[in-house]
Structure 1
Amino acid sequence: MNKYKKLFEPIKIGKCEIKNRFALAPMGPLGLADSEGGFNQRGIDYYTERAKGGTGLIITGVTFVDNEVEEHGMPNCPCSTYNPVQFVRTGKELTERIHAYNAKVFLQMSGGFGRVTIPTNLGDFPPVAPSPIQHRWLDKTCREITIDEIKSIVKKFGDGAYNAKRAGFDGIEIHAVHEGYLIDQFAMSLFNHRTDEYGGSLDNRLRFAREIVEEIKDRCGEDYPVVLRYSPKSFIKDLRDGALPGEEFTEKGRDLEEGIKAAKLLVSYGYDSLDTDVGSYDSWWWSHPPMYQDKGLYRPYAKLMKETVDVPIMCAGRMDNPDMALDAIENGTCDIISLGRPLLADPDYVNKLRSNNLKSIRPCISCQEGCMGRIQHYSMLNCAVNPQACKEKDNALTPILKKKKVLIVGGGVAGCEAARVLTLRGHEAIIFEKNDRLGGNLIPGGVPDFKEDDIALANWFEHTLKELKVQVNLNAEVTKDQILKSDFDSVIIATGSTPKVFPLGDDAKVFTAADVLLGKKDCKDTTVIVGGGLVGCELALHLAKEGKNVTIVEALNKILALNGPLCSANSEMLEKLIPFNKIAVKTNSKVKAYKDGLLEMETENGIEKIKCDSVILSVGYKEENSLYKELEFEVPEIYLLGDARKVSNIMYGIWDAYEVANHI
């Protein structure tokens, strides 16, 4: 018997029945719209694939209702009022395909971003806000929105919802009294300094949200479900300054006391469900939790909402552990489990869980490189570990004309992904890995407890390749002569990279980050990490949590200056965690020598010395491509992948391998 059966019981939002307790959490559909505000083919395929994978409720990412008060630079996200005919036409194709899988679909509609507009996404247009307040990203003051403009946006919510209902959407989710978007800015006194009917009392500050749900119900009927994305707590210490987990601070956004009052009011206005999280753009790591946040971090706040109001409560936020999800439903924490990034990583998550095939679920690693980072910088939604996410047809597996035997040297993410894709297409892939397990840099990288999903990804590759019956040879190095004597049709070199090292003097106490992480070397109680990039900072955090006294020495003027996380939620949280965990940082400093327990370095103030038991070098990696160079002119069909081609990250290791392996 499947112990997760309770997760597959139906649930109603209003009168709309959802077949199970899983929803696709809304994520910005950047790249999934056409130039007229409809859904493009990528968007239709992407959402349909999650419905096909068993998810009971599909919630689209943000779509706009207004493109005049706050211009959004078409095409960016769908807009239900820009060209109603095109929106209904493409929306109808989307909803018909989703309904074929007995899934429901809600359109997430936004009143605008206000002070949190991301310039690279939305263009450098004058940002609006409830009052003349500081913009989140730009050093600009926002323009106060007028009452006529508010009324105009409210009416467009009605128009857009009417178009959505015509297109077959089963309900609406409002974006949002959460994360500090425009409607949320109205709801918080920190941002709302108005003296008219939209400012002052809590009821007035929620008037915008109230008028929206009333307008939609008036246009679409009382039974048409309207969900609200809602954050009962903001974690704002000050403008552009958020609080960390466990930090004592004075809440300047919405505190829980007001969050409870607001929830009761919002439900009384007519909202049929609260999709609960916490955070704001000023504390982005709460709204978009990196791996440094605990799994299921919203559960206490969802349970509080469940105890406060009598409507279904949704809960997202790293809820990919099925046991955690089951417990949340059984103990009354929430009614629906929302999965965002986990369904980017594996659209078949729900069906795999239903069929008790947990080991086949490809894990999300919370890196946010393919999703939030790319949304923030390039206006596109993808996934680091799933190259097909949002490119379902463009990256469909290519049929083969002739079966080939392909040798893969290296069992890191690039080699594993290449073997997976080649085998799925019908080729024969054989891996040779010099170490005793697959995974490459995932293995040392996954040692810190906050990086557990790196190990989960390595385990997934091992399980998947075993299921596919891929021949894997461990503890097996191959030479140029062995390869030339073999009968392979194609060769992939994915030999990874090696840490950069240099002598400092007492090199018996100078280690690499990987050796320390794997327990091959003991850094003792006091250590200095040379290099404040991502690896160095994560290692420092890991060692500090183990009680070590850690100092980071960085040659540049700040940590994470090079090759840091693409997503601000990840980088800003990690930057704050370093001092919060009492990790000392010396920037603009170059190490010179290590002798007699003293590390000598050249700083802006001259030569300084630090007393330490060990030194850990974390100054980057260099490509290990010597075997490729030996074979480059000897093997007709040869490819160089992963860090061996160019030292990068997990995402590009997987993506490049998929691209090449899909076209051999």
Structure 2
Amino acid sequence: MNKFLELFEPVKIGKLRIKNKTSMAPMGPVGYADSFGGFNQRIQDYYVERAKNDVGLIITGICSVDMQGEGIPSIGLPCPTSNPLAFIHSTYQMNERIHAYDAKIFLQLTGGLGRSALPGFVSKTIAPSEQENRFDPKIVHREMTREEIMTLIKKFVMSAVIAKKSGFDGVEVHAVHEGYLLDQFAISLFNHRTDEFGGSLENRLRITTEIVKGIKKACGPDFPVSLRYSLKSCMKDLRQGGLPGEDYKEVGKDIDEGIEAAKILVDAGYDALNVDAGTYDSWYWNHPPMYFEDGMYREFGEILKKHVNVPIILAGRMDDPNMAIESLGKSCDIVSYGRPLLADPEFVSKIKYNKLDEIRPCLGCHEGCLGRISNAPVSCAVNPACGRESIYGLTPALQKKRVLVIGGGIAGMEVARISSLRGHTVILCEKTDKLGGNLIPGGVPHFKRYDRKLVEYYKHQLELLNVEIKYNTMITKENIDSYNANIIVTATGSTPKSISLEGTQKTITADQVLLGKANVGENVVIVGGGLVGCETGLWLAQQGKNVSIVEVLPEILGGHGTLPHMNEYMLIDLLKFHNVKIYKDACIVKTKDTSVEVKQNDKNFELLSDTVITSIGYKENDSLFMQLKDTEVPVFNIGDSSQVHNIMYSIWNAYELAKNI
């Protein structure tokens, strides 16, 4: 008997019955608007795909109530008020399909970004009061006029009316949450107004309470309105988040004020609170990277359940269904899944039918969802078909072939999986006794546990597909003909680059350390401040080691913007929190018995050291491909052996190749 059945019992928001206690968390549909501000076909199919896989309530990503207020580009977000009839036509047909699966759907409505707008995304910079932009202090947002505020309230109401006509079952107001515009009104740090929209807490919440009152008046008291709500800002200062477990003074909204605000908002008419914590200044709280423990919002949901009598919707790495069951009734009434449903649209169905080992895990990397949002719509690093379900799905191979995959890392396993799903006969040869490639050492730290789960997912999928796997098998130019392959794919990965340092200490690589192949002393110096070097340093510092990182470039982690912002900010904050010392524009001159000599700009100094670890990047293992590329059988090179990149591109490029074999 499935022990998670409680998750699939009905629940109500107001008078609306939802078939189970699961929801799809709202995630911004940037780039998914059609030319009229409606939902394009890709985003329609994206939501339907989740509805047909047992999600009870879908909450769409943000839709602007007024594109003109901030000058958001027309392709940026869907907008009900841009062309109401076109919006209704695009979404009504989507909602008909969603309702066929007995799922419900809320349209999430946003009032805008305010000071949290990414530079260049808006042409009009506004805020409750004059403020610096969160990302670029040189950009100043002017104070909104009272007339602009009243127009914004009217646009919310108008959007809700259009949503009801479009067949949505309710709306969600976005947001007294994450430091967006309405949250900036609510937080005294950002709101210095002297009119009825500033001053007291009631005044600072007035825009949000007037919105729900207007919606209820226009759409009827039984039309559900939920609120995306951050209980606590988790801010130490402007542009500075507070880490979990860190002792700091809250400069934004603290828990006590958050409780009082929640009471005011529920009394005004909100039927549910969709709860999290954080602002753009503490952005990693709203978009938790892998460095968080699972269920980081449960404490906030538990607090609110003691003070309000409406359902609490709760996300925040609730991937483990055991955690979800434990949280129901205590921390929440509905469990919300965001990125897990990007990674695997069948996530809820696999819980329902007890197929947990078939769930493709979210890594917390943000590479596919938010890391590329300036250039492309939301997708997922481990699910290349996310957001393009109908145009990028798999089709059976017209001609079945014999595919030889050389290398059992992520790219090789994805090629094997997709090729097998399409009907090809696949043989995967791995030179070691394990699958996983560089994710084996990369997945060692606790905060990379979902990397390990991804490897286990692939291993299980290949078992289910009966893919022939040959371990401890080295493929060479001389023995490859014996496999009689029609297609050869080399996925032979990469190896750490090495350097020699003058001096008495022997260097070891980060891979050797992570795999337990080298002893590590108490005073560790890491050469190279890229992602692997920094994560290895954090892992060792968490074990109590004295860690220093020496980086030759002006910035660690490849410079700002190389990683998704939330991952970058949290990793840097964690390194500081765990006292990892970072020396930029620096290099090691030589090693000594108990120290290393470092040159930084024009200064030389010594660091205590009994262990020197090198982490200066990886080199493609492409020699086998170069030997085979001119044979009579088509040969493709994929993954790190083609170009050292990240997990996303290993999977995406492998999927693209195998989809078309």
| TM-score normalised according to structure 1 size | 0.98
Alpha-carbon distance in 2 for matches of 1:430, 1:239: 54
- Could you tell me which of 356, 360, 363 is aligned with 1:362? 360
**Residue 171 (1) aligns with residue 170 (2):** yes
**Residue 115 (1) aligns with residue 120 (2):** no
Q: CA deviation at 1:21?
A: 0.9
Deviations 1:403-447 (A, max 9, x none): 000000011110011111001110111111112211111111111
Query: Which residue does the alignment assign to 1:383?
Result: 380
Determine if contact 1:374/1:566 at 8 Å carries over to the other structure.
no
Paired residue type of 1:229: R
Determine if contact 1:193/1:200 at 8 Å carries over to the other structure.
yes
Deviations 1:627-660 (A, max 9, x none): 0000111143111100000000000000000000
Alpha-carbon distance in 2 for matches of 1:134, 1:299: 32
**Residue 295 (1) aligns with residue 291 (2):** no
Q: CA deviation at 1:506?
A: 5.9
Alpha-carbon distance in 1 for matches of 2:331, 2:567: 27
Alpha-carbon distance in 1 for matches of 2:616, 2:287: 29
**Residue 514 (1) aligns with residue 511 (2):** yes
Alpha-carbon distance in 2 for matches of 1:564, 1:84: 37
**Residue 469 (1) aligns with residue 462 (2):** no
Query: Which residue does the alignment assign to 1:644?
Result: 641
Q: How many residues align?
A: 660
Which of 463-472 and 242-251 deviates more? 242-251
Determine if contact 1:418/1:658 at 8 Å carries over to the other structure.
yes
Query: Which residue does the alignment assign to 1:342?
Result: 340
Alpha-carbon distance in 2 for matches of 1:262, 1:618: 48
Q: CA deviation at 1:571?
A: 0.2
- Report the 3-state secondary structure (helix = DSSP H, G, I; strand = E; otherwise coil) of the residue aligned with 1:174: strand
Q: CA deviation at 1:590?
A: 1.5
Mark the CA change 1:508 to 1:605 in structure 2 (over 3 Å): closer, same or farther. Answer: closer
Q: CA deviation at 1:609?
A: 2.8
Alpha-carbon distance in 2 for matches of 1:362, 1:275: 25
Deviations 1:377-396 (A, max 9, x none): 32520100000100112211
Paired residue type of 2:44: I
- Report the 3-state secondary structure (helix = DSSP H, G, I; strand = E; otherwise coil) of the residue aligned with 1:150: helix
Alpha-carbon distance in 1 for matches of 2:531, 2:567: 10
Paired residue type of 2:38: G
Query: Which residue does the alignment assign to 1:79?
Result: 79
- Report the 3-state secondary structure (helix = DSSP H, G, I; strand = E; otherwise coil) of the residue aligned with 1:610: strand
Deviations 1:14-65 (A, max 9, x none): 1111111110000001222111110001000100001111111011000011
Gaps (5+ residues) in structure 1?
A: none
Q: CA deviation at 1:598?
A: 2.9
Paired residue type of 1:292: Y
Gaps (5+ residues) in structure 2?
A: none
Q: CA deviation at 1:94?
A: 1.1
Determine if contact 2:39/2:87 at 8 Å carries over to the other structure.
yes
Q: CA deviation at 1:592?
A: 3.2
Alpha-carbon distance in 2 for matches of 1:453, 1:635: 40
Deviations 1:102-158 (A, max 9, x none): 1000000001111111235x24x1311011111111222211111111111111111
Query: Which residue does the alignment assign to 2:130?
Result: 132
Alpha-carbon distance in 2 for matches of 1:385, 1:618: 25
Paired residue type of 2:624: L
Which of 478-487 and 440-449 deviates more? 478-487
Alpha-carbon distance in 2 for matches of 1:410, 1:16: 52
Alpha-carbon distance in 2 for matches of 1:507, 1:404: 55
Q: CA deviation at 1:564?
A: 6.9
Q: CA deviation at 1:527?
A: 1.1
Alpha-carbon distance in 2 for matches of 1:603, 1:197: 55
Q: CA deviation at 1:514?
A: 0.8
- Report the 3-state secondary structure (helix = DSSP H, G, I; strand = E; otherwise coil) of the residue aligned with 2:280: coil
Alpha-carbon distance in 1 for matches of 2:505, 2:637: 34
Q: How does 1:121-270 map to 2 (within 5 A)?
A: 122-123=121-122, 125-138=123-136, 139-270=138-269
Determine if contact 1:132/1:142 at 8 Å carries over to the other structure.
yes
Determine if contact 2:505/2:592 at 8 Å carries over to the other structure.
no
Alpha-carbon distance in 1 for matches of 2:427, 2:305: 52
Determine if contact 2:28/2:378 at 8 Å carries over to the other structure.
yes
Alpha-carbon distance in 2 for matches of 1:81, 1:589: 54
Paired residue type of 1:63: C
- Report the 3-state secondary structure (helix = DSSP H, G, I; strand = E; otherwise coil) of the residue aligned with 1:153: helix
**Residue 441 (1) aligns with residue 438 (2):** yes
Q: How does 1:473-512 map to 2 (within 5 A)?
A: 473-505=470-502, 509-512=506-509
Query: Which residue does the alignment assign to 2:28?
Result: 28
Alpha-carbon distance in 1 for matches of 2:72, 2:369: 20
Q: CA deviation at 1:576?
A: 1.3
Alpha-carbon distance in 1 for matches of 2:431, 2:543: 31
Q: CA deviation at 1:500?
A: 0.3
Paired residue type of 1:325: A
**Residue 560 (1) aligns with residue 545 (2):** no
**Residue 591 (1) aligns with residue 588 (2):** yes
Alpha-carbon distance in 1 for matches of 2:553, 2:348: 45
Query: Which residue does the alignment assign to 1:624?
Result: 621
Paired residue type of 1:46: Y
Alpha-carbon distance in 2 for matches of 1:215, 1:606: 65
Alpha-carbon distance in 2 for matches of 1:267, 1:645: 55
**Residue 423 (1) aligns with residue 417 (2):** no
Alpha-carbon distance in 1 for matches of 2:31, 2:473: 43
Alpha-carbon distance in 1 for matches of 2:215, 2:381: 37
Paired residue type of 1:128: I
Determine if contact 1:76/1:379 at 8 Å carries over to the other structure.
no
Paired residue type of 1:369: E
Q: CA deviation at 1:563?
A: 9.2
Alpha-carbon distance in 1 for matches of 2:480, 2:376: 43
Query: Which residue does the alignment assign to 2:309?
Result: 310
Q: CA deviation at 1:217?
A: 0.8
Query: Which residue does the alignment assign to 1:64?
Result: 64
Alpha-carbon distance in 2 for matches of 1:441, 1:486: 26
Determine if contact 2:497/2:618 at 8 Å carries over to the other structure.
yes
Determine if contact 1:509/1:613 at 8 Å carries over to the other structure.
no
Mark the CA change 1:339 to 1:409 in structure 2 (over 3 Å): closer, same or farther. Answer: same
- Report the 3-state secondary structure (helix = DSSP H, G, I; strand = E; otherwise coil) of the residue aligned with 2:69: coil
- Report the 3-state secondary structure (helix = DSSP H, G, I; strand = E; otherwise coil) of the residue aligned with 1:590: strand
RMSD (CA atoms): 1.3
Determine if contact 1:198/1:205 at 8 Å carries over to the other structure.
yes
**Residue 551 (1) aligns with residue 548 (2):** yes
Determine if contact 1:533/1:564 at 8 Å carries over to the other structure.
no
Determine if contact 2:69/2:124 at 8 Å carries over to the other structure.
no
Q: CA deviation at 1:67?
A: 1.6
Which of 271-280 and 316-325 deviates more? 316-325
Paired residue type of 1:443: I
Query: Which residue does the alignment assign to 2:389?
Result: 392
Q: CA deviation at 1:287?
A: 0.8
Alpha-carbon distance in 2 for matches of 1:507, 1:15: 74
Query: Which residue does the alignment assign to 2:605?
Result: 608
Mark the CA change 1:507 to 1:105 in structure 2 (over 3 Å): closer, same or farther. Answer: farther
Query: Which residue does the alignment assign to 1:576?
Result: 573
Determine if contact 1:369/1:565 at 8 Å carries over to the other structure.
no
Q: CA deviation at 1:611?
A: 2.6
Alpha-carbon distance in 1 for matches of 2:135, 2:287: 17
Paired residue type of 1:25: A
Alpha-carbon distance in 1 for matches of 2:376, 2:14: 34
Deviations 1:446-480 (A, max 9, x none): 11111100000000000111011111111211111
Determine if contact 2:504/2:593 at 8 Å carries over to the other structure.
no
Alpha-carbon distance in 2 for matches of 1:190, 1:564: 27
